[in-house]
Amino acid sequence: MGEFVLEMQNVSKSYYGTQVLKNVSIAVKPGEIHAILGENGAGKSTLMNILFGMSVIHSTGGFEGEVRLGGEAVAIKSPMQAMELGIGMVHQEFMLIPGFSIVENIKLNREILKDNIVSRVFGEKMKGLDHNSMAKDAKAALNTVGLTIDEWARVAGLPVGHMQFVEIAREIDKENIRLLVFDEPTAVLTENEAANLLATMRKLADSGIAILFITHRLDEVMEVADNVTILRDGALVSTLRKQDTSVVRMAELMVGREIETMAREKGSEMGQDSTILSIRDLHVRMPGEEIRGVSLEVKRGEIFGIGGLSGQGKIGIANGIMGLYPATGEVLLNGEKLELNNTKGSLARGLAFVSEDRRGVGLMLDSSIEENIAFTAMQVKNKFVRKYGPFSQVAQGEMRQHALAMIKELDIRCRGPLQATRRLSGGNQQKVCIARALTLDPIVLFVSEPTRGIDVGAKRLVLETLVKLNKEFGMTIVMTSSELAEIRSVCDRIAIISKGQVEGILAPDASDADYGLMMSGDFAKARREGVV
Amino acid sequence: MSKQITNAAASQTRRTKAIQSIKNFLSDNIVTIMFAILCYVGFKLSGLSLMFIVNDLVNRVGRNGVLILALIIPVLAGMGLNFAIVLGAMAGQVAVIIVIHYGWSGIIGFLAAMAISTPVALLFGWLTGHLLNRTKGQEMITSMITGFFANGVYQLVFLVLVGTVIPMVNPEIMLPSGIGIKNTLDIGRIKYAVDNLSRVTFPTAVLAGSVGILLYLGYRFWKSRIDGRVTLTVVSVLTPLIAAGAMAFWSITTMNSKSMLNMVRVPVVTFLFIGAVCLFITFIASTKLGQDFRTIGQDLHIAQVSGINVNKTRIIAITMSMVLAAWGQLFFLQNVGALNTFAAHEQVGRFAIAALLIGGASVSKATIGQALLGAVLFHTLFVVSPAAGRQLLGDAQLGEFFRAFVAYGVIALSLGMHAWQKAAESKRKNR
């Protein structure tokens, strides 16, 4: 019965009525590297949360299905219990304490203790630490992962690649470890470090540890995995042996979905080929969404899509151009150079931005709809402002009229222009954001994640609004979104961002395989090798 | 030729490195250095004799030392500066009032007060710990407000409930109406109960201190043999050795001279107790519990995920601090000899915290050395500033204002610098 280390059978989970996992089953043998592949939101992290008994699962009503470890059904209630059962996790963001030495991190809360006089009376907690034995164990674990480094060095100064190996060393130092989960471990590594890591994973697997390898990099799957399970929208698409599949096939399975094209003809034909915005070698230092040298040309009157997996940098482009995060490079608007890192300047030049952080950056939640709509234009363009010498007053009447017009135009469902935006539904909040951007009479409108956190019906309305603006007013729109299907349904051209750079530009009707490959950053390589 | 150039360049970089490290030292210890200078200038201006200052200082450090040391453990556990030691001080005062009521005196009375204050402080610590666990990240402001709140309860108990709900008859310490405790209590019964157990002259104490340094050096030497992390360098051996030698030399020559410092009598048991508290903190820091404190102090989330019972550990930290504060207040009161029933505890938190910060500690880092150095500097300033104010401006009151200004100023400065450093750090991380 002990053939599999881990079996998860027919696992389903919903959060507040939304199903995020449907009947997913997975089985891993000792010594196997099992890759789990999927886009953002495919259900990978929910599956791992269930495996580790995270409180987010249990506080929302638990899950359906069964988890078996070594053939025995287990109910894992806490990460601590998962650890005791021999499941380890190498986290994507490091779970290391920078101020501690490597030894202390590896032995965190598993310190080797020694008796002293006080501990004999007052118990365990008063025992001292046996630093020598701790160092010996740590050294052994570091050797296993092939890291030669002073074990008393502080973690704070280590290169990122080393930190990853310290994490692994900590997990394999646990004596009963039998299943190790790697959560996108190569995301922050250089190519060299990544190759090292993969080799180490193979070595660990050969020593009999089962490995779950969560990733979206297809070439890595091909390199080390024995089997691969592909998830999409919370459902199991397929479990394949590596030999039976290819990068292209996996890419198709990962992305493939029906695309509903919005019924739309091309917008105004005029000026189709003239460039309105050109971006050259843009670098943006946005934490977690860094852009490292992007060049793009956006044409007048088009809807330009920017897609890619989260963390790859797509959101950084609009934020960088609008001056919300420090940027370098060159941006030309209508052939004239735009001053970077100057939000007010960007707005004044005719760029408008609907932020992905709707409730944080996008809206003043306790202010009224009309104030939200008018605010930026007031600041930047002196609209809705009456001047009396050195003093100025808000022109209430003008503002009200404009707000009413916008509410009608964009069909914002509200109790009136004085309602606080906090009370509005997500879709209507988004429309207020768009209304505010429109009040600036923009030449180019940036829209980031316009449908995030909005229910399905409202999503469609927001997208239709964008298409209408484009079609009726010939407005150029640059839309960034994590939902590939959505950009493919409304955009004319789509750039896919990977590792902070443009992986390629595709037409909306390009094949699923191309999209999948580009998202995982394997497109250029696959093309070189002549697969596509 | 080229070799010369590289040599010159090397010495250049060495020099800039040395300048950089001096700069770092100055900027890291700017508060402490400023206060050392301030104390020296104040001393010169005040015109007070060295003997007077040393005498006062021995008194003040002795009576405040434990209170300041009580702050270290919560800092270690990442809970910031524990303004709630005010509650610990109240626990001590409750015990003193009970002891005075029953008329116990001397060292027996003091030990009884310690015994009574301990369970009270444990209870206060347990309650405060639970409160702080619900307000993670705002421990300092919560503990400060808890102090004010507890003060209200304290007044309710000792002004209203005593003599009404709590049956107590004792005209000596109660208000004439029979309800409530008097504003000021004479606790002469336990005055100097510990201090006067044994006293030695100041030079003798310094000599004992030099022996202590030598013992510590021996311990380090032994430790370096069995623990790979402890390595002895020339500097780390020579500095204490020279210091101990100088102290011994000075104390022996002074002993045999007619120096007024021979008149200063150091309370032995009090300082031994302070030493014991230092050892206790060092010991705790080296245990599994201490490692848990540090882990929590560094990163709450990681500590939780790695299975440390964060809430329980934090309660233990705050409770230890509370008990030490209660005992610290008892040492304070036995030295002062009078209990200002409704005010004695109020300033305890602020003054102890100011002293700790002046010693170079911060919201997230505090050592025993910093606590002791801070105690000396802060109280030197306390002693000299009124006299310096009188000499300089003809008004002692100005010196008083100055030291209140300093106590609050240094706390505000330290909190501001902590926030600034944190912001700079997160900026660095995001780059």
* A517 domain residue, yes or no: no
| Interchain pair A118, B430: CB under 8 A | no
Instruction: Give the minimum alpha-carbon distance from A343 to chain B in angstroms, rounded to a whole number.
Output: 20
| Interchain pair B295, A127: CB under 8 A | no
* A260 domain residue, yes or no: no
The boundaries of the domain holding residue B397 are 31-197+266-419
Whether the per-residue pLDDT at B1 is higher than 60: the answer is: no
* B68 domain residue, yes or no: yes
Whether the per-residue pLDDT at B90 is higher than 90: the answer is: yes
Strands across the sheet with A87-90, in order?
A: A72-74, A64-69, A6-15, A18-28, A235-241, A227-232, A33-37, A210-215, A179-183, A87-90
* B405 domain residue, yes or no: yes
| Together in a domain, A238 and A298 | no
Is the CB of A287 inside 8 Å of chain B's CB atoms? yes
* A229 domain residue, yes or no: yes
* A256 domain residue, yes or no: no
Residue of chain A minimizing CA distance to B282: A128
Give the pair of three-digit tokens for residue A324.
């919300």
Tell me which chain A residues have a C-beta less than 8 angstroms from the C-beta of B302. Answer: 95-97, 108
* B358 domain residue, yes or no: yes
- pLDDT of amino acid A1: 41
Nearest CA among A443, A484, A492, A414 for reference residue A251: A484
| Interchain pair B298, A97: CB under 8 A | yes
Tell me which chain A residues have a C-beta less than 8 angstroms from the C-beta of B310. Answer: none
Instruction: Give the minimum alpha-carbon distance from B286 to chain A in angstroms, rounded to a whole number.
Output: 6
Can you tell me the mean pLDDT for A259-281? 65
Cβ within 8 Å of B, A 96-155: 96-100, 104, 108-109, 111, 113, 118-119, 124-129, 131-132, 135, 152
- pLDDT of amino acid A102: 92
Q: Which residues pair with A494 in a beta bridge?
A: A305, A506
- pLDDT of amino acid B424: 75
Residue of chain B minimizing CA distance to A288: B430
Instruction: Give the minimum alpha-carbon distance from A493 to chain B in angstroms, rounded to a whole number.
Output: 32
Tell me which chain A residues have a C-beta less than 8 angstroms from the C-beta of B288. Answer: 111, 113, 124-129
CATH of the domain at A57: 3.40.50.300
Separation CA A389–CA A403 (nearest Å): 27
* A527 domain residue, yes or no: no
| Interchain pair B287, A109: CB under 8 A | no
| Together in a domain, A15 and A164 | yes
Instruction: Give the minimum alpha-carbon distance from A125 to chain B in angstroms, rounded to a whole number.
Output: 5
Cβ within 8 Å of B, A 74-93: 79-80, 83
Residue type, A57: I
Tell me which chain A residues have a C-beta less than 8 angstroms from the C-beta of B227. Answer: 131-132
Q: Say which residues have a Cβ less than 8 Å from residue A261's Cβ, sequence separation at least 6.
A: A489, A508
* A60 domain residue, yes or no: yes
Which pTM was predicted?
A: 0.77
Tell me which chain B residues have a C-beta less than 8 angstroms from the C-beta of A97. Answer: 295, 298-299, 302
Tell me which chain A residues have a C-beta less than 8 angstroms from the C-beta of B289. Answer: 125-126
- The 10s digit of each residue's pLDDT in B311-370 is 999 999 999 999 999 999 999 999 999 999 999 998 888 889 989 988 888 888 899 999
**Vertex A270, ends A268 and A274: CA angle to 5°?**
120
Tell me which chain A residues have a C-beta less than 8 angstroms from the C-beta of B319. Answer: none
- The 10s digit of each residue's pLDDT in B32-73 is 888 888 889 889 888 888 899 999 999 999 999 999 999 999
| Together in a domain, A351 and A410 | yes
CB pairs A-B closer than 8 Å:
63
Measured on CA atoms in the order A207, A210, A213, A214, is the torsion positive or negative?
A: negative
Q: How many domains does chain B have?
A: 1
* A446 domain residue, yes or no: yes
Q: How many domains does chain A have?
A: 2
Q: Which of B286, B303, B305 faces A128 most closely, judged by CB atoms?
A: B286
Write a three-state SS string for A92-103. Answer: CCCCCCCCCEHH
| Together in a domain, A17 and A100 | yes
| Together in a domain, A288 and A171 | no
Greater confidence (A233 vs A76) lies with A76
- pLDDT of amino acid A531: 58
The boundaries of the domain holding residue A196 are 6-245
| Interchain pair A79, B291: CB under 8 A | no
Least confident stretch, A93-102, A331-340, B134-143: A93-102
- From A204, A230, A245, the end of a domain falls on A245
| Together in a domain, A21 and A118 | yes
CATH of the domain at B83: 1.10.3470
* B381 domain residue, yes or no: yes
* A137 domain residue, yes or no: yes
